Structure 1
Amino acid sequence: MKRHTLACAIAAALLLCGAPFPSFAAGASATATKTAATAPAQQMATLADRYYAEIARFDPIGATENGDIRYNDQLTIAIAPKVRAQHLARFQQFLRQLHTIPRARLAHRDQVSYDIMDYELTTTLALERFPDHLLPVSQMDSVPVMLANYAGGQSGQPLKTPQDYRAFLKRLNNLPAWLDQAVLNMREGMRTGVVQPKAVVTAMLPQFRKLTSKTVEENIYYSPITNMPATFSAADKAKFKAEYSALLKSRLMPALDRFANFLEQDYLPAARTSAGWSALPQGEAWYRAYVASSTTTSMTPEQIHAKGLSEVARIQQEYAALGPKMGYDGPASGLPNWVAQQAKFKPFTSDQQVLEVFRQLDATLRTKLPSLFTLMPKAPLDLRLEPELSRETASDHYTAPTADGSRPGVFWSVVNDPKQYGSTGMVTLFLHEGQPGHHFHIALLQELGLPDFRKFGGNNAFTEGWALYAETLGKEMGLFDKPEDYFGHLNDQMLRAVRLVVDTGMHEKGWTREQAIAYMRETLGYSEDEARNQVERYMAWPGQALSYKIGALKIQELRARAEQALGPKFSLPKFHEIVLGDGTLPLALLEAKVDAWIAASK
């Protein structure tokens, strides 16, 4: 700022005196002006780098999951109260520093970065007063199970080179300390009343028992040695076998035994019988903070509950029209149950048959998507089966490609019993988890030249909202021409609507677990086990399931607004480019961006 002011003063003096404008003065002025213009940009870039580095050091497994392999050798004990407090204190400092940067002097992309960082820091700090570190594990999310899946070499962390093996061993070295800290935290939770529901703990127990073993060779964390590449030298093989065995025998296996015993003998009896978050200390405010974070809106749980009921009613009207086309003549609400009982919609005898249907669908989509998108990821998409360890509690999901291209984006299909695997929802599922859903959004993040915190970060409302919106494109591509496939689409839409009802019902309105299971079975035709798994997911991840429908409804609303405003000028590929082109945005920023595009296009 000072250099810019001085240069302007010199130039003004020369002009006022009538002197010729020397070339050096013009150059100095131009350079100073450029420096002044880039100074805020440099401040923003520096702060963005420091912000992401803090996030990745605090949650290096999250970095790995997002395809950033630079932190694959790290495991921060982020649940330790002191570490958590230091992390949040640095976030406070980042927010203060951000507000010293003159936003108006930033270029558009940097202004977007400014707004996203402001939103993320403010949202995270709003959760600071709630002790989420006292609930470090659930059946849906835990560091030990995540690392156990990595040990197989087919999940998020590569195990192909000696460097990979050294990184994973270094990460595993911190797992015993993480487990012991988790026990300390959970004992504090038992003392203060911040504990998981019994159903969640019961669902966790089999996972953690599978992590224990009588011998080193039987332990799942020994899998890297069992599956060591043949290309490794004899010296490397011997070294890694000795090092992994020593860690397991002396520290990791005893820590796993201690944790599993604590979970079963101490924590389960202390777990709560309630289902909802409102039963916890500060539970109502805590849940509302989760809702705001998950949806990136100011919608209240009551508003979301009402929207869910409205969507359920709308979709049931579509059931009424579709049922006769499928050979069903009962009440609309009974269609999901009827479909679930039809053997013709469960045609599989092996998990490979399921995977082959997804592969054929993937091939079809590669011919259709270019007409709807001009902005598409370069990274390939692979299709794999979910590892056995997490198969019982996992849902079909997507993992991002690595930034260096060493791992593609992956669609993980969860097949527990192929004979019970329904075919009606497969098209919609792949549109959501594969392409153009998560793959087109998350893989693109690696390729847009964004700051790392935007490349590897984001929010669920946009991420899941986009994937749910992507499902609706199946109709435009002719993928729902079969009534059963369109039913699958509607049934998945119904699931997201039901989530609005059930999540808010349990955490805000006091619904019991059994009440939520019954509602899901009635509206979705789920079996007892399917409904239970879904409900217990919402018990463990309050508010997370709201993001899908709220985000998708916003994107659909913005598309309809653009179509109406632009008429024949509306371009669907361009709309998709506008939505995806800046990466993940809070919904308010996305709305402002689309509105600006509409105004400019007019």
Structure 2
Amino acid sequence: MKQIFTLGTLAAACIIACAPAVADTATQPTASAGATSAASTSESRKLNKLADEYWDALARFDPVSAGESGDNRYADQIGMSIAPKNRAHQFALYRDYLKRLHTIRRDGLAQRDQTSYDILDYELTTALRFEPFPEHLLPLNQMDALPVTLANYSSGQQAQPLATVKDYRAYLNRLTQLGPWIDQAIANMREGMKTGVVQPKAVMVAALPQFKQLVAAKAEDSIYYTPVKNFPSGFSDADKKKLAAAYRSTIAGRLNPALKRLADFVEHDYLPACRTSTGWSALPHGMDWYLARVASQTTTDLQPEQIHQIGLKEVARIQGEYARIGPKMGYNGPASGLPTWVSEQAKYKPFKTEGEIIDVYRKLNAQLQTKLPALFSLRPKTPLDLRLEPELSRATASDHYTPPAADGSRPGVFWSVVNDPTEYGSTGMVTLFLHEGQPGHHFHIALMQELGLPDFRKFGGNNAFTEGWALYAETLGTEMGLYDKPEDWFGHLNDEMLRAVRLVVDTGMHAKGWTREQSIQYMRETLGYTEAAARNATERYMAWPAQALGYKIGALKIQELRARAEKELGPKFSLPKFHEIVLGEGTLPLALLEKKVDRWIAESK
């Protein structure tokens, strides 16, 4: 999935959440029916009012991330979440919300509202855990920079709608705010230079070319001017003329100079001050900071060493599968060499055009329409569209999913990124589509918008459930007979291997003293990556500490819960019902998910 769960913006709240104790909704005291009903109504009103305030505060604080999640109410704003005073105000709100939440009688709520109470308690507790750490002093990197995000929006095919005159004005309004945001980012980074809170040099070396490319010789050459070159046919000549003039004026007079200031600052001031260390633990209070991130991204209390060992165990298991499947593909070397061998085989790169690639995905999608009803009784009504990534953003994107808009203006979209069709590998296409398309992200995220959940649950979430579900969804290809070809099964194993390796290298770099070079070498040995691919992946994990841990930890928990239910229920076990239990209330912290599944098992017995 495209990275919408950013660290340092919405991150201080629902996106990055640790795992405080979660009350068990199955063991609450009961009251008489009449009293319970009255209390439930009163307490529920207070809870839902608080929950709505909370989400609205989040969406105003970081409107761009809210839009990525489907809430486009503030599409004309970028927010200034990196400003110290705004950040302080947001944490003050969290403290107030948490205090108010604890005045609500949890045992006076219906079970569905108890779940909302628990999630809200969980998210606010997490937000406040991050208050001591100066996330705002690291406002951008090669993976996540607001100027780049808004540049990619200029195509009109991403989360920023560009279909009406109002949409064009909203995007223009964001562009006028980008200059002040850049100046705040530079001020923050200067403060970080004084306090030792700076990015690793390798991260900013990778980011600098992006910032330089955003600086245009004249307004008409700017990527932000792209909407003017693609006016919808229904726009009047007067609107076109007025908008074109406004875009030219804003880009030339405000935005382009700010982008030049950013590129020059990064190149001449910031890069020389960047650190040569690799891991987050090298920062002031960095280990505590990393531990908070680990808890938030996995929604568990697992420690880095435990996660590291889980990763090593999974790597060994998957290499055992490589040894079994390799000979079926014509490979008889050591198991660890299988990925490299596959990457060198021309037969696994059969495409000549991008159209041939998207056609394979369309056929797979049609095949899934006939197979998924046997596995799912609960499915989203919102359609899934399949599109090729626009040329504008192909160089920096990877295949991903974007959620539907809450107002129905866009469907869920699986984006296939094709830069060179002849280099596009076929072995991973099935497992990729199950993850990014359906039943992975689409079944979870599109469904969340149809369940009648409070906005903070409809649009929010956590990484462990979101990516854990999508990685678990890949395993369902076995039941649907989609991995019968050895090369497709290898593709799935290779995808699992990547997620296992992430557990090893992320904790290795940020908690165990691994260098960037150690991570690159380990990824080359286990994944068969080229030097460039291993370097790019390593630098992603350097810039986003712990983000890559959620996938495997979440998937392993869902697999563990399914195995438990199958064992406990025997012939009573229903896979569609299990999936309904997992998906039926949207995103949950893993502790809450486990309690929900255990309650279902007990009731089913």
**What's the TM-score, normalizing by structure 1?**
0.94
From 141, 161, 170, give the equivalent of 1:158.
Answer: 161
Would the aligned equivalents of 1:149 and 1:387 in 2 still touch at CA under 8 Å? no
Partner of 1:20: none
Give the distance between the partners of 2:141 and 2:98, measured in 1 at CA: 31
- Measure the CA separation in 2 of the matches of 1:36 and 1:296: 31
2:102 pairs with 1:118: no
Task: Pick one of 505, 509, 512 that aligns with 2:512.
Answer: 509
Instruction: Give the counterpart of 2:432 among 429, 432, 456.
Output: 429
Over 3 Å counting, the alpha-carbon distance change for 1:33 and 1:584 in structure 2 is closer
- Between stretches 422-431 and 270-279, larger displacement belongs to 270-279
Deviation (angstroms), 1:87: 0.5
Q: Deviations over 1:26-65 (max 9, x none)?
A: xxx9998754431100000100100000000001001110
Is the CA contact 2:82–2:184 (under 8 Å) kept in the aligned structure 1?
Answer: yes
Residue 59 (structure 1) aligned with residue 62 (structure 2): yes
The one of 399, 403, 410 equivalent to 1:407 is 410
Match of 2:318 among 315, 318, 336: 315
CA deviation digits over 1:194-223, x for unaligned, max 9?
111111111111211221101110001111
Q: Does 1:103 align with 2:115?
A: no
Q: What's the counterpart of residue 219 of structure 1?
A: 222
Aligned to 2:299: 296
Distance in 1 between residues matched to 2:343 and 2:493, nearest whole Å: 14
Contact 1:377–1:440 (CA under 8 A) maintained in structure 2: yes
2 CA distance for matches of 1:515 and 1:44?
49
Q: Distance in 1 between matches of 2:86 and 2:492?
A: 44
Q: Which residue of 2 aligns with 1:551?
A: 554
Q: Does 1:349 align with 2:352?
A: yes
Separation in 2, partners of 1:261, 1:309: 42
Q: In the alignment, which residue of structure 1 is the partner of 2:479?
A: 476
- Going from structure 1 to structure 2, the CA distance change for 1:246 and 1:531 (only over 3 Å counts) comes to same
Q: Tell me how far 1:353 sits from its aligned partner.
A: 2.3
Equivalent in the alignment of 2:241: 238
- Cα displacement string for residues 70-109 of structure 1 (whole angstroms, at most 9, x for unaligned residues): 1111111110011001001100110110011000000011
Structure 2 counterpart of 1:137: 140
Which letter maps to 2:49? T
Rg larger for: 1
Secondary structure of 2:103's match?
A: coil
- SS of structure 2 residue aligned to 1:411: strand
Q: 1:85 aligns with which of 80, 84, 88?
A: 88
1:438-517 to 2 correspondence within 5 Å? Answer: 438-517=441-520
Query: What corresponds to 2:368 in structure 1?
Result: 365
In structure 2, the partner of 1:566 is 569
Identity of matched residues, %: 70
Partner residue in 2 for 1:374: 377
CA distance in 1, matches of 2:487, 2:443: 26
Contact 1:151 1:224 in 2 (8 A): yes
Greater relative contact order (CA < 8 Å, ≥ 6 in sequence) = 2
Whether contact under 8 Å (1:139, 1:393) holds in the other structure is no
In the alignment, the residues of structure 2 paired with residue 573 and residue 32 of structure 1 have an alpha-carbon distance, to the nearest angstrom, of 36
2:176 counterpart (173, 176, 179):
173
Partner in structure 1 of residue 419 of structure 2: 416
Offset of residue 385 of structure 1: 2.5
User: One-letter code of the match for 1:263?
Assistant: V
C-alpha distance in 2, partners of 1:523/1:34?
Answer: 58
User: Once the 2 structures are TM-superposed, how far is the Cα of residue 360 of structure 1 from its aligned partner?
Assistant: 1.6
Task: Quote how far apart the aligned CAs of 1:171 are.
Answer: 1.8
C-alpha displacement at 1:386, in angstroms? 2.7
2:36·2:108 contact (CA, 8 Å) conserved in 1? no
Conserved in 1, the CA contact under 8 Å of 2:155 and 2:227? yes
Contact map agreement 1:207 1:390 (CA 8 A) in 2: no
Which piece of structure 1 moves more, 409-418 or 56-65?
409-418
Match for residue 18 of structure 1? Answer: none
* 528-537 or 383-392: bigger deviation: 383-392
Q: How many residues in Structure 1 have an aligned counterpart in Structure 2?
A: 574
Q: What are the superposed Cα offsets for residues 256-304 of structure 1, whole Å, 9 maximum, x if unpaired?
A: 1111111111111111112211111111111111000000000000000
CA distance in 2, matches of 1:550, 1:292: 11
1:584 is aligned, of 574, 584, 587, to 587
| 1:207 to 2:210 alignment | yes
Letter in 2 for 1:45: N
Answer with 558-567 or 190-199: which moved more.
Answer: 190-199
What amino acid sits opposite 2:328 in the alignment? K
State the match for 2:601 in structure 1. Answer: 598
Residue type at the aligned position of 1:439? H
Cα offset, 1:414, TM superposition:
2.2
Contact 1:393 1:533 in 2 (8 A): no
> Is the 8 Å Cα contact of residues 358 and 387 (structure 2) preserved in structure 1?
yes
Q: Report the counterpart of residue 519 of structure 1 in structure 2.
A: 522
Give deviations 1:103-141, integer Å, cap 9, x for gaps.
000001100000000111111110111111111111111
1:259 to 247, 259, 262: 262
Does residue 1:197 correspond to 2:197, yes or no?
A: no
Letter in 1 for 2:211: F
How far 1:349 sits from its partner (Å)? 2.4
CA distance in 2, matches of 1:424, 1:261: 43
My pick for the range that moved more, 585-594 or 163-172, is 163-172
Q: Indicate yes or no: 2:277 matched with 1:274.
A: yes
The match for 2:545 is: 542
Counterpart of 1:481, as a letter, is: D
Post-superposition shift, 1:519?
Answer: 0.5
Cα distance change of structure 1 residues 353 and 202 upon mapping to structure 2, 3 Å threshold: farther
* Cα distance change of structure 1 residues 387 and 131 upon mapping to structure 2, 3 Å threshold: farther
Name 2:26's counterpart in structure 1: none
Query: Residues 125, 465 of structure 1: CA spacing in aligned structure 2 closer, same or farther, 3 A cutoff?
Result: same
TM-score (norm 2): 0.93
Query: 2: distance between equivalents of 1:387 and 1:268?
Result: 31
Which residue is 2:27 aligned to?
Answer: none
CA distance in 2, matches of 1:270, 1:388: 34
Aligned counterparts of 1:33 and 1:408: Cα–Cα separation in 2: 40
Q: 1:124-181 CA deviation, whole Å, 9 max, x = no partner?
A: 1101111111111111111111111111111111100111112111222211110000
Residue 391 of structure 1, CA deviation:
3.0
Report the secondary structure of 1:384's partner residue: strand
CA distance in 2, matches of 1:30, 1:367: 45
Q: Deviations over 1:326-356 (max 9, x none)?
A: 1111111111111111111111223332222
Q: 1:472 to 1:31 in 2, by over 3 A?
A: closer
User: Does 1:575 pair with 2:578?
Assistant: yes
Q: Is the 8 A contact 2:39 2:108 kept in 1?
A: no
Deviation at 1:387, TM superposition (A): 3.5
Compared CA separation, residues 103 and 325, structure 1 to 2 (3 A): same
Q: CA RMSD in A?
A: 1.4
